[in-house]
Structures are given as C-alpha cells and as structure tokens.
Amino acid sequence: MKPFLKWAGGKYKIVNRISSALPPGKRLIEPFVGSGAVFLNTNYDRYLLTDANPDLINLFLHVQNEGQDFIEYCKVFFTPENNEQSKFYELRETFNSTTDTSLKSALFIYLNRHCFNGLCRYNSKGGFNVPFGRYRNPCLPETEMLGFHEKSKRAKFAVADFKETMELAIKGDVVYCDPPYVPLSATSNFTDYAVGGFGLDKQSVLAEMAIKLKNRGITVVVSNHDTDFTSNAYKSAALERFNVQRFISSDSQNRGKAAELLAVFS
C-alpha cells in the first residue's frame, strides 16, 4: 500500500527488504513513523506509531478519525488557482500561523504535494520553509488516504520522543526505527525535519536504546546510511548492506545510489 505523503527517505521502495527483517510479534512500534510505509505494508495486530513532528501526527489523527469527511475538506485546496506561486506562499503562511489543527493538517497535505520535491523542512522558529515546487497538476491522493484510514484502525498515534517511545516496548513487541539519517558527507546533513535536529548524540542514544531493548528480548531493526559511524554504533547487531536509489534530492543531477544499512538487534 502506497503512502499518501511524499517523503524524503521514505521506505516504500524497499519495504519488502525491511519487512523480511522484522520478526513476528503482536505489536509493531515505530518511533519515527514518517510517511508510514512500513506500517502500511506489514501485518501486525496492533501498532504504536509516534513521531517528534506534531504536524505529521495531527494529520494522521484527522485521517484516522474522520476518513472521507476529512478528505473532502482537503479537496478544496487542490484547485488550479492554488497551484500558483503567490497563492502557495499565502497558504504556507496560513499553515505556519493557524492554530486550527484541521486546517493545518489539510494544508500539510497541500504543501506536501505542491512544495519543492515534497520535502518537510522547518526553520529555527518552527516555520515550514520549503519553496514552491511548480508542478503542473498536483492531485490529492484520495485512494491512498482511504487505505491509510482503514489500516489505521489498528494503530495508536502520538507525538513523542523516540527514547520515550522505545521505553514503552514490552516482550512480544517489535521495534522499527527510521531516524533522520547520519549524513554521508559534511555537505549532505539534513536534520531540520523537526525543530532541534537529530545529531550524532541522538544517533548514539538510539543505538544504546536498541541494545537495551535487545537485552530485554525485544527485536529492534534500524535503518540508516552505511557509514563508519553507524557501522561502529551498530556493531552488536546483524548488519545488512545494500544500495538504494535516491528519489528526493535538491540536485536533480545527483540522484544516484546511496549506501544503506539495515541493523537487526535481536
């Protein structure tokens, strides 16, 4: 099932490889749910899906709780008039200033489909700052949203820190982590998906939490770039290395293969 959001680093293209590394269990926990590709394409009885980005989680809650009614509301923003640069920046400003969660969630989808490369990025003040994408005819992903609504009946969503979420894991749970990746180079750092970033200190805490849960008999699977840092941080896990195609990049001429690492702590 395809996610309804465009997502940098989304796992839809490699979800079969990831799901094959996930053991059976009663509940899948994802502390970095992102677009929900792994959730949508696995079959656990229950899901605990969290993220540090409140805009993302509020959107998922609206889709989960309101289904078709929310989809109909979102449709009003997908018009030719709104696919203009000036209107995009006007609606982006509304998104950044409104306290209406329904409006903000609908505009999150609008921005996702109309902004440059479908990126999700915020400035230091917490304002969404991705520029206009200049797409010919952006469409609301209604079918994918309905599929998400149906599957989400098994899920609980929450805004939470990854460590807090991982602490909730109990025997019988499986944990899949897809954190903001360790940069492959000094010029490719991207940690401003949420205010506060996700530096190497947090990467180290994540690895420590994975080991902690492993020692409690809970399998943790982590995706990341294959770097010297991750190889060392995940050295107690079973490591699978492979290349993936970059689909979202600021440089359209540089969307090549990236070294990926799948670490299984079990």
Neighbours of 20 (CB within 10 A): 9
CA distances from 253 to 7, 115, 250, 256, 258 (A): 19, 19, 9, 8, 14
**Does 96 share its domain with 36?**
no
| Average pLDDT of the residues in 109-117 | 97
**Residues forming beta bridges with residue 243, ordered by sequence position:** 259
- The answer to whether position 155 is within a domain reads no
- CB contact at 8 A, 20 and 37: no
- pLDDT computed for residue 242 by the predictor: 93
- CB contact at 8 A, 30 and 50: yes
- pLDDT computed for residue 245 by the predictor: 76
- pLDDT computed for residue 247 by the predictor: 54
- The answer to whether position 206 is within a domain reads yes
Q: CATH number, domain at 114?
A: 1.10.1020.10
- CB contact at 8 A, 29 and 166: yes
**Does 127 share its domain with 167?**
no
pLDDT-wise least confident of 34-48, 59-73, 95-109, 173-187: 173-187
**Does 109 share its domain with 197?**
no
> What secondary structure does DSSP assign to 76-97, as a single string?
TT-SGGGSSHHHHHHHHHHHHH
Q: Tell me which of 89, 108, 143 is where a domain ends.
A: 143
- The answer to whether position 6 is within a domain reads no
- pLDDT computed for residue 171 by the predictor: 96
**Does 96 share its domain with 189?**
no
Q: 263, 171, 176: which is closest to 215 by C-alpha?
A: 171
**Does 36 share its domain with 167?**
yes
**Does 165 share its domain with 214?**
yes
- For 191, the token pair is 């940690």
**Does 171 share its domain with 249?**
yes
**Does 88 share its domain with 178?**
no
**Does 105 share its domain with 37?**
no
**Cα–Cα distance between 251 and 259 in angstroms, integer?**
18
Residues sharing a CB contact under 8 Å with residue 126, sequence separation 6 or more, in sequence order: 96, 195
Q: Tell me which of 85, 115, 143 is where a domain ends.
A: 143
- pLDDT computed for residue 196 by the predictor: 61
**pLDDT surpasses 70 at 250:** no
Backbone angles phi, psi at 136, to 5 degrees: -70, -45
- For 254, the token pair is 């540089």
Q: CATH number, domain at 236?
A: 3.40.50.150
pLDDT-wise least confident of 149-158, 166-175, 238-247: 238-247
- The answer to whether position 133 is within a domain reads yes
Q: Tell me which of 115, 143, 171 is where a domain ends.
A: 143
**pLDDT surpasses 50 at 249:** no
Pairing of strands 27-30, 46-51: parallel
- The answer to whether position 148 is within a domain reads no
- The answer to whether position 40 is within a domain reads yes
**pLDDT surpasses 80 at 93:** yes
**Does 99 share its domain with 221?**
no
**pLDDT surpasses 80 at 252:** no
**Cα–Cα distance between 94 and 91 in angstroms, integer?**
5
**Does 46 share its domain with 72?**
no
**Residues forming beta bridges with residue 221, ordered by sequence position:** 176, 264
- The answer to whether position 217 is within a domain reads yes
How many independent structural domains does the chain possess? 2
Average confidence score pLDDT of the chain: 93
- For 47, the token pair is 């899901």
**Does 165 share its domain with 138?**
no
- The answer to whether position 7 is within a domain reads no
pTM, to two decimals: 0.92
**Cα–Cα distance between 130 and 138 in angstroms, integer?**
16
Give residue 193's domain range.
12-52+160-265
